[in-house]
Chain A
Amino acid sequence: MTDITPSGASLLVQDARTQKRNRAEARFKMYGLAAIAVGLLMLVILLTTIISRGTGAFQQTYVTLEVPLLEAKLDKKGNRNIDDIKKVSTFGYAPLMKAAFEKKIAAAGIETKLKSKEMAALLSKNAAATLRDYVLQDINVIGQTIEFEFLTNSRVDGYLKGRVTRASIANDKSINAAQLDLVDALIADGSLRKRFNLDFITGADASDQRPEAAGMGVAMIGSFFMMLVVLALALPIGVAASIYLEEFAPKNWITDIIEVNISNLAAVPSIVFGILGLAVFINYMHLPNSAPLVGGLVLTLMTLPTIIISTRASLKSVPPSIRDAALGVGASKMQSVFHHVLPLAAPGILTGTIIGLAQALGETAPLLLIGMVGFIASNPPDGITSGLMDPNSAMPAQIYEWAKRADPAFYERAWGGIIILLVFLITMNAIAVLLRRRFERRW
């Protein structure tokens, strides 16, 4: 009997080849982990960038001044007639504001060599308009001296947020070191400070000279009306199409064409839907440019495939026994679907619809082509018709608009806008997940 022990080999000691193979195994596993780590790292970088750059937009710098609302300037006739008071433009209010600012500086004991014009430049170009709006809202304040918070210029705001520094203003014509000294003194005095900025969430966009006054509110309303259109059209059409394809369609070439079409539409670049919207809804049907109705129609066509695919999945998950039972007690095929299958599939359909809506809410490219950028969405619409038909922006389009204006103050607003947009998206997706958890049935 001979032992066939290979020379030097043992189960306890790995040979060189096995070691090599094991090292390769470890390496391979590491690559996989590294890939996941890189992906997650990117997510973390993206989110921290958004949050660190965007939270600034939710704070704004204001200076508190005591403004005497002189009757002699604002209501010369003295009869408190609102139409006469409306004739006083912001140029009538600006001197009051400037005087109050200078008085404040003097009262705080701040010495500055700045000229009056340079001092006034620290206030926002929008400040006088805010004061005017305030007075027009309640004309009884005329003649009193009121304490009022004025928006400051975006550079002052940037200085308080660290975006503008003494080193960075060397080439900046709109602000100089002496003005920053004054700002420092006012901060020490307590009259100039940062606070939460509700106007960013509820306000309208502002022209490119006054980033400090720009807000997302009107664009949000535009997005809301678009989503209304998408919900009103995509949900019924999508559900109807899915019911036909899943429950009734015979297996033939027409059905095949429809199915291939739907899966292809899901992968068509979104900009192509924008071209379709421009050519059909605006150039052919002459619907108004920039209207949320048109945006909604385009997004409907884009969202339909998503909704159809998820609706079909939830219809498919309803077991055939439900249909058979309904047919067994004398329901027609149509009744079995509408009275029994559809209600059972509803939670899944709803979940899919919310996810489709979230997708549509963040879509930008098609909106560029139907003109929802490039203007200042300044007036909130009054009423449903105006909301659907009047030019408006939408949240992602507004973000794009700010990103294009090439001003760090607007960039901050763009990041802030992204935070708002993401809050909406996260809420919608969370609702979808909750619905699924709460109502999902397994048979």
Chain B
Amino acid sequence: MMATTATTFLGVPLGMALFVAVLAIALLGYVMARSRVMARAGGDARVLHSLPNYYGMTAAMFAAVPALGVLLIWLLAQPAVVQNAVLPLIPADKIDSVGTQSLILSDVRRVADGLDIALAQGALSRADIAAMADDPSALRGTLGEVGVALGSEVEPFILAAAQKSRELNGKGRFWMAAAVLLIALAGLALALRVADPQFRARNIVERGVMVLLIVAASLAILTTVGIVLSMLFESINFFRLHDWKDFFLGPKWAPNFRGDSDLSILPLLWGTLYISIIALLVAVPIGLFAAIYLSEYAGPKLRGIAKPLLEILAGIPTIVYGLFALLTVGPALVRLFGRGEDGILGVEWMSGATSVLTAGLVMGIMLIPFVSSLSDDIINAVPQSLRDGSFGLGATHSETVRQVILPAALPGIVGAVLLAASRAIGETMIVVLGAGAIARVSVNPLEAMTTITTRIVSQLTGDTDFASPETLVAFALGLTLFVLTLGLNVLALYIVRKYREQYE
């Protein structure tokens, strides 16, 4: 565990300390600039171009924004820069794949952190480390004592690389602190210089605020890009280590941590789709009929009670449904379909509480309000004139619903079902607890099967090694899941939007 590193200042992480320092400078700037411009105006605010607060804000902005920007970029870039500088120190023959490279780099990081801790606690002195340069085999034990466990013996080149990275990180931290504080003070000085009554402070502040607003709005794009890139890079690493044909077309999912695993998505996809289909078989009829009744038949009183109550089902966290599947629905199904002579049906079809049916049923319950409230909106959007026309021709209410309203609302309902399907495919907690962990392709809904999301969780929790295909496969699974749900969402939104336009 890299619990603490030496990147602290008075016990606070250096980045945080700098952040607070910059804010303090900005506050100082606010007060100084405001009083300065008031003094220059002779205490008469009417002489100023802008309200006095805007001069203060300009100064705060000048001091804080560039400095915090530099701080952020520096914090993000330093690890990559240091890593690139350390890379040449690792003998080329030690790196036989991308995987081992990242493994060695993580060793280097651990040793570097360990040395920092050992120095801070006094378990080692600088001279001790220098003496170890050629034979650092004792280091593993020493670092173990200060709480940094290493997987293997420390080799000389790793120690050298660790020392180099410590040196660079130390320098980097120093220059970062210096640069950030200098920039903040320079901004402050500049703002005080320009603070005179003619200065158009409000325009500057408003332009700055506008930039902030745009940055905040672009964060959505940044998040999407982050999601795609983070999964894409690791997926590329995975496909370098593992044949893509096996991933997409192979017959078996059998991860083996000694290597040589079968990692095919097909059995997982089958489990995912099977569970989703069962969930939709439960949710769509119930949700759709509930929506029809609520929008076409129910009086305002029943509607006012039943609709919010149904929507409570959507607000319950998925972990609750997961527990419900594992501890209530699963055992109930076992009592019904399993246990041989002791069971209710006297059959022995089900052995454990986890199964496709368990997860599917519970997920179906979760999706009922999702389908019903979306369909409700869509049915309400069907113009009243269509209903009136149908009634005028003598159709009963149910005939109107079946032959006029539903066909008219069909595209929207299809969209709603697709959204529900995308939710079902991406659902995690219910399947982690209720579906089981065995990857098999079978049509028996009483057997345990596994899904894409369950495997992502199991490959990425516990001891993970980001150099092995068994861990990296989770990113490829995640990317597939993302593409799958994104496709369904885009399609559904397109259909719903198209349908709305039809009646607007």
**A, B bound:** yes
* A110 within 8 A of partner (CB): no
Which residues does chain A contribute within 8 Å of B227, judged by CB atoms?
Answer: 268, 272-273, 275-276
The segment from A133-141, A242-250, A318-326 found at the interface with B is A242-250
- A385–B11 touching, CB < 8 Å: yes
A-B pairs, 4 with minimum CB distance: A269-B426, A32-B293, A362-B317, A35-B289
- A368–B289 touching, CB < 8 Å: no
Q: Which residue of A lies closest to B76 (CB)?
A: A285
Q: Given A46-B324, A283-B466, are A269 and B315 also a contact pair (CB < 8 Å)?
A: no
- A400–B320 touching, CB < 8 Å: no
Which residues does chain B contribute within 8 Å of A81, judged by CB atoms?
Answer: none
* A160 within 8 A of partner (CB): no
The segment from B60-68, B91-99, B486-494 found at the interface with A is B486-494
The segment from A17-25, A169-177, A186-194 found at the interface with B is A17-25
State in angstroms the CA–CA spacing of A385 and B218 once bound together: 29
- A362–B319 touching, CB < 8 Å: yes
Most chain A C-beta atoms within 10 Å of own C-beta, residue among B285, B319, B422: B319
Q: Smallest Cβ distance from B77 to chain A, in angstroms?
A: 11
Across the interface, A275 reaches (CB within 8 A) one of B219, B223, B419, B460, namely: B460
- B234–A400 touching, CB < 8 Å: no
- A42–B313 touching, CB < 8 Å: yes
Most chain A C-beta atoms within 10 Å of own C-beta, residue among B79, B234, B322: B322
* A96 within 8 A of partner (CB): no
Across the interface, B213 reaches (CB within 8 A) one of A28, A241, A364, A415, namely: A241
The segment from B121-129, B250-258, B365-373 found at the interface with A is B365-373
State in angstroms the CA–CA spacing of A301 and B223 once bound together: 7
State in angstroms the CA–CA spacing of A53 and B474 once bound together: 35
Which residues does chain B contribute within 8 Å of A243, judged by CB atoms?
Answer: 213
Q: What are the interface flags for A356-394 relative to B under an 8 Å C-beta threshold, 1 for contact and 0 otherwise?
A: 001001111100110101100000000001000110000
Which residues does chain B contribute within 8 Å of A269, judged by CB atoms?
Answer: 423, 425-428, 453, 481-482, 485
Is chain A's binding surface mostly helix, strand, loop or mixed? helix
* A334 within 8 A of partner (CB): yes
* B152 within 8 A of partner (CB): no
- B234–A279 touching, CB < 8 Å: yes
State in angstroms the CA–CA spacing of A76 and B194 once bound together: 75
State which residues 1-35 of A face B: CB under 8 Å: 21-22, 24-25, 27-29, 31-35
- A363–B234 touching, CB < 8 Å: no
A31-B289, A400-B319 given. 8 additional CB < 8 A pairs? A28-B401, A35-B287, A39-B290, A49-B324, A262-B220, A269-B423, A270-B428, A399-B323
* A36 within 8 A of partner (CB): yes
The segment from A83-91, A101-109, A421-429 found at the interface with B is A421-429
* B25 within 8 A of partner (CB): no
- A43–B313 touching, CB < 8 Å: yes
A-B contact count (CB 8 A): 264
Which residues does chain A contribute within 8 Å of B216, judged by CB atoms?
Answer: 236-238, 240-241, 244
* B405 within 8 A of partner (CB): no
State in angstroms the CA–CA spacing of A361 and B317 once bound together: 9
- A285–B290 touching, CB < 8 Å: no
Most chain B C-beta atoms within 10 Å of own C-beta, residue among A28, A304, A332: A28
Q: What are the interface flags for A399-419 relative to B under an 8 Å C-beta threshold, 1 for contact and 0 otherwise?
A: 110010000000100110010
State which residues 150-173 of A face B: CB under 8 Å: none
- A400–B322 touching, CB < 8 Å: yes
Can you sample 27 A-B contacts with CB below 8 Å? Answer: A24-B398, A32-B297, A35-B286, A35-B290, A39-B287, A39-B313, A49-B324, A238-B216, A240-B212, A263-B493, A265-B224, A268-B485, A269-B423, A270-B428, A271-B457, A274-B460, A275-B231, A276-B226, A279-B475, A285-B79, A358-B315, A364-B429, A365-B318, A365-B453, A400-B429, A403-B326, A422-B316
